[in-house]
Amino acid sequence: MPDRVNAVTEITLGLDTTQPGLVLSFQIGTAVPRVQGWDLGRGLSTQLHGYLRQFVLPYDWSDLTSIVVARGPGSFTGTRIGVITARTLAQQLQIPLIPVSTLAMVAWVHGHSQRDSITPIAVEMPAQQGQVYGAIYENLGSGVVPIDGDQKFAIADWEDHLAQYPIALERVRTDALDLSAQQLGLALLDLGQHYLHLGQNTAWQDVLPFYG
Protein backbone atom coordinates (compact mmCIF):
# COMPACT_ATOMS: atom_id res chain seq x y z
CA MET A 1 0.00 0.00 0.00
CA PRO A 2 1.23 3.56 -0.64
CA ASP A 3 1.97 5.94 2.17
CA ARG A 4 -1.25 7.67 3.14
CA VAL A 5 -1.41 10.89 1.16
CA ASN A 6 -1.71 14.25 2.85
CA ALA A 7 -5.29 15.49 2.93
CA VAL A 8 -4.34 18.60 0.94
CA THR A 9 -2.44 16.72 -1.76
CA GLU A 10 -4.13 16.94 -5.14
CA ILE A 11 -4.55 13.59 -6.85
CA THR A 12 -5.93 13.80 -10.36
CA LEU A 13 -7.08 11.06 -12.72
CA GLY A 14 -7.20 11.84 -16.44
CA LEU A 15 -9.38 9.86 -18.85
CA ASP A 16 -9.33 10.16 -22.65
CA THR A 17 -11.35 7.85 -24.89
CA THR A 18 -12.03 10.33 -27.69
CA GLN A 19 -9.51 8.86 -30.13
CA PRO A 20 -8.83 5.22 -31.04
CA GLY A 21 -7.54 3.63 -27.88
CA LEU A 22 -7.58 4.52 -24.20
CA VAL A 23 -5.26 7.03 -22.51
CA LEU A 24 -5.12 7.25 -18.72
CA SER A 25 -3.07 9.72 -16.71
CA PHE A 26 -2.48 10.13 -13.00
CA GLN A 27 -0.75 12.86 -10.98
CA ILE A 28 -0.08 13.22 -7.28
CA GLY A 29 0.74 16.76 -6.24
CA THR A 30 3.80 18.01 -8.10
CA ALA A 31 5.20 14.55 -8.77
CA VAL A 32 5.97 13.44 -12.32
CA PRO A 33 2.68 12.28 -13.88
CA ARG A 34 2.11 8.70 -14.96
CA VAL A 35 0.56 8.16 -18.40
CA GLN A 36 -0.31 4.98 -20.26
CA GLY A 37 -2.21 4.14 -23.43
CA TRP A 38 -3.83 0.99 -24.82
CA ASP A 39 -5.37 0.12 -28.17
CA LEU A 40 -8.55 -1.58 -27.00
CA GLY A 41 -10.59 -1.19 -30.18
CA ARG A 42 -14.12 -2.49 -29.73
CA GLY A 43 -13.13 -3.84 -26.32
CA LEU A 44 -13.20 -0.36 -24.76
CA SER A 45 -16.72 -0.67 -23.36
CA THR A 46 -16.05 -4.02 -21.67
CA GLN A 47 -12.44 -3.49 -20.58
CA LEU A 48 -12.35 0.17 -19.53
CA HIS A 49 -13.28 -0.36 -15.89
CA GLY A 50 -10.71 -3.11 -15.41
CA TYR A 51 -7.94 -0.94 -16.85
CA LEU A 52 -9.05 1.99 -14.71
CA ARG A 53 -8.96 -0.01 -11.50
CA GLN A 54 -5.51 -1.44 -12.21
CA PHE A 55 -4.17 1.96 -13.24
CA VAL A 56 -5.26 3.70 -10.04
CA LEU A 57 -3.69 1.05 -7.80
CA PRO A 58 -2.17 1.08 -5.25
CA TYR A 59 -4.34 4.08 -4.40
CA ASP A 60 -8.04 3.93 -3.59
CA TRP A 61 -10.80 5.71 -5.46
CA SER A 62 -11.36 7.77 -2.30
CA ASP A 63 -7.85 9.23 -2.64
CA LEU A 64 -8.81 11.08 -5.82
CA THR A 65 -9.44 14.82 -5.49
CA SER A 66 -10.43 15.54 -9.10
CA ILE A 67 -11.04 13.89 -12.47
CA VAL A 68 -10.24 15.36 -15.87
CA VAL A 69 -11.99 13.96 -18.93
CA ALA A 70 -11.55 14.60 -22.64
CA ARG A 71 -15.04 15.63 -23.80
CA GLY A 72 -14.47 15.46 -27.56
CA PRO A 73 -14.74 15.96 -30.41
CA GLY A 74 -13.70 12.48 -31.41
CA SER A 75 -15.11 8.99 -31.68
CA PHE A 76 -18.86 9.11 -30.93
CA THR A 77 -18.95 5.85 -28.97
CA GLY A 78 -15.60 6.28 -27.26
CA THR A 79 -16.30 9.86 -26.20
CA ARG A 80 -19.69 8.90 -24.78
CA ILE A 81 -18.25 5.98 -22.80
CA GLY A 82 -15.43 8.09 -21.36
CA VAL A 83 -17.62 10.99 -20.30
CA ILE A 84 -20.27 8.74 -18.76
CA THR A 85 -17.61 6.86 -16.80
CA ALA A 86 -16.03 10.09 -15.55
CA ARG A 87 -19.42 11.50 -14.58
CA THR A 88 -20.27 8.37 -12.60
CA LEU A 89 -16.96 8.41 -10.71
CA ALA A 90 -17.18 12.14 -9.93
CA GLN A 91 -20.76 11.75 -8.71
CA GLN A 92 -19.95 8.82 -6.45
CA LEU A 93 -16.76 10.39 -5.07
CA GLN A 94 -18.25 13.90 -4.88
CA ILE A 95 -15.18 15.51 -6.45
CA PRO A 96 -14.74 18.07 -9.26
CA LEU A 97 -14.98 16.86 -12.84
CA ILE A 98 -13.15 19.03 -15.36
CA PRO A 99 -13.97 18.61 -19.07
CA VAL A 100 -11.24 19.39 -21.60
CA SER A 101 -11.70 19.79 -25.34
CA THR A 102 -9.74 17.40 -27.53
CA LEU A 103 -8.96 20.37 -29.78
CA ALA A 104 -7.60 22.28 -26.77
CA MET A 105 -5.31 19.34 -25.98
CA VAL A 106 -3.89 19.47 -29.51
CA ALA A 107 -3.47 23.24 -29.27
CA TRP A 108 -1.67 22.84 -25.94
CA VAL A 109 0.76 20.24 -27.29
CA HIS A 110 1.47 22.44 -30.31
CA GLY A 111 1.76 25.54 -28.12
CA HIS A 112 4.42 23.83 -26.01
CA SER A 113 6.54 23.42 -29.12
CA GLN A 114 6.06 27.12 -29.91
CA ARG A 115 6.50 28.60 -26.44
CA ASP A 116 7.68 32.01 -27.67
CA SER A 117 4.78 32.42 -30.07
CA ILE A 118 1.72 34.41 -29.07
CA THR A 119 -0.04 33.74 -32.37
CA PRO A 120 -3.50 32.21 -31.78
CA ILE A 121 -3.79 28.57 -32.80
CA ALA A 122 -6.56 27.41 -35.14
CA VAL A 123 -7.12 23.68 -34.66
CA GLU A 124 -9.15 21.58 -37.06
CA MET A 125 -10.19 17.93 -36.96
CA PRO A 126 -11.87 16.07 -39.82
CA ALA A 127 -15.52 15.21 -39.25
CA GLN A 128 -17.94 13.22 -41.37
CA GLN A 129 -19.78 14.34 -44.49
CA GLY A 130 -17.25 16.92 -45.61
CA GLN A 131 -17.18 18.82 -42.34
CA VAL A 132 -14.53 19.73 -39.79
CA TYR A 133 -14.43 20.49 -36.10
CA GLY A 134 -12.68 23.80 -35.58
CA ALA A 135 -11.67 26.14 -32.78
CA ILE A 136 -9.24 28.99 -32.18
CA TYR A 137 -7.18 29.03 -28.98
CA GLU A 138 -4.95 31.59 -27.33
CA ASN A 139 -1.67 30.22 -25.94
CA LEU A 140 -1.14 31.67 -22.45
CA GLY A 141 1.97 29.68 -21.59
CA SER A 142 0.25 28.08 -18.59
CA GLY A 143 -2.66 26.82 -20.68
CA VAL A 144 -4.81 27.57 -23.69
CA VAL A 145 -8.17 29.31 -23.63
CA PRO A 146 -10.73 29.43 -26.43
CA ILE A 147 -11.13 32.59 -28.47
CA ASP A 148 -13.65 30.82 -30.69
CA GLY A 149 -14.90 27.65 -28.99
CA ASP A 150 -15.33 24.24 -30.58
CA GLN A 151 -17.80 24.11 -33.45
CA LYS A 152 -18.58 21.94 -36.45
CA PHE A 153 -18.20 23.65 -39.81
CA ALA A 154 -18.67 22.84 -43.44
CA ILE A 155 -15.14 22.93 -44.87
CA ALA A 156 -15.88 26.02 -46.99
CA ASP A 157 -17.37 27.83 -43.98
CA TRP A 158 -14.30 27.02 -41.86
CA GLU A 159 -12.01 28.39 -44.55
CA ASP A 160 -14.11 31.55 -44.79
CA HIS A 161 -14.08 31.88 -41.00
CA LEU A 162 -10.28 31.75 -40.93
CA ALA A 163 -9.88 34.03 -43.95
CA GLN A 164 -11.99 36.71 -42.28
CA TYR A 165 -10.17 36.51 -38.97
CA PRO A 166 -8.67 39.93 -38.14
CA ILE A 167 -5.22 38.69 -37.05
CA ALA A 168 -2.76 36.05 -38.20
CA LEU A 169 -3.41 32.47 -37.07
CA GLU A 170 -1.27 29.38 -36.82
CA ARG A 171 -3.19 26.45 -38.31
CA VAL A 172 -2.89 22.94 -36.93
CA ARG A 173 -4.59 19.87 -38.43
CA THR A 174 -5.02 16.96 -36.07
CA ASP A 175 -4.71 14.41 -38.88
CA ALA A 176 -1.29 15.84 -39.78
CA LEU A 177 0.06 15.12 -36.31
CA ASP A 178 1.17 11.87 -34.73
CA LEU A 179 0.60 12.56 -31.06
CA SER A 180 1.60 9.91 -28.55
CA ALA A 181 -0.44 8.73 -25.57
CA GLN A 182 2.17 10.46 -23.38
CA GLN A 183 1.61 13.83 -25.09
CA LEU A 184 -2.17 13.56 -24.94
CA GLY A 185 -2.22 12.36 -21.34
CA LEU A 186 0.05 15.17 -20.16
CA ALA A 187 -1.94 17.77 -22.10
CA LEU A 188 -5.15 16.54 -20.49
CA LEU A 189 -3.67 16.80 -16.99
CA ASP A 190 -2.02 20.18 -17.61
CA LEU A 191 -5.18 21.76 -18.96
CA GLY A 192 -7.43 20.16 -16.37
CA GLN A 193 -5.30 21.46 -13.53
CA HIS A 194 -5.04 24.87 -15.21
CA TYR A 195 -8.84 25.14 -15.43
CA LEU A 196 -9.26 23.78 -11.91
CA HIS A 197 -6.91 26.40 -10.48
CA LEU A 198 -8.81 29.08 -12.38
CA GLY A 199 -11.87 27.98 -10.44
CA GLN A 200 -13.58 26.32 -13.38
CA ASN A 201 -14.93 23.43 -11.34
CA THR A 202 -17.77 21.77 -13.17
CA ALA A 203 -20.56 19.78 -11.57
CA TRP A 204 -20.59 16.26 -12.96
CA GLN A 205 -24.15 16.64 -14.29
CA ASP A 206 -23.07 19.62 -16.43
CA VAL A 207 -20.28 17.72 -18.23
CA LEU A 208 -21.50 16.50 -21.61
CA PRO A 209 -19.68 14.95 -24.56
CA PHE A 210 -19.15 17.26 -27.51
CA TYR A 211 -20.17 15.87 -30.89
CA GLY A 212 -20.75 19.18 -32.66
pLDDT, one tens digit per residue, over 97-106 is 999 999 999 9
According to CATH, what is the number of the domain 11-101+180-206? 3.30.420.40
Residue 3 pLDDT exceeds 60: no
3-class SS string, 24-76:
EEEEECCCCCEEEEECCHHHHHHHHHHHHHHHHCCCCHHHCCEEEEECCCCCH
Q: Which residues contact 91 (CB under 8 A, 6 or more apart)?
A: 204, 205
Query: Among 123, 131, 126, 170, which Cα is nearest to 148's?
Result: 123
Helix (H) or strand (E) holding 103: helix 102-113
Query: Among 201, 95, 196, which Cα is nearest to 143's?
Result: 196
Residue ranges per domain, the chain? Answer: 11-101+180-206, 103-176
Mean pLDDT, the chain, integer: 90
The two domains 11-101+180-206 and 103-176 share their CATH topology (first three levels equal):
yes
Predicted local confidence at residue 117, as pLDDT? 67
Domain 103-176, what fold?
A: Nucleotidyltransferase; domain 5 (3.30.420)
Per-residue confidence band for 36, with pLDDT thresholds at 50, 70 and 90: very high
Residue 190 pLDDT exceeds 50: yes
**64, 95 contact by CB (below 8 A):** yes
**121, 110 contact by CB (below 8 A):** yes
Per-residue confidence band for 210, with pLDDT thresholds at 50, 70 and 90: very high
* Phi then psi dihedrals of residue 16, to 5 deg: -130, 115
pLDDT, one tens digit per residue, over 116-149 is 667 899 999 999 888 999 999 998 876 788 999 9
pTM for this model (two decimals): 0.91
Residue 172 pLDDT exceeds 70: yes
Label residues 159-168 b or e (16+ Cβ within 10 Å = b): eeebeeeeee
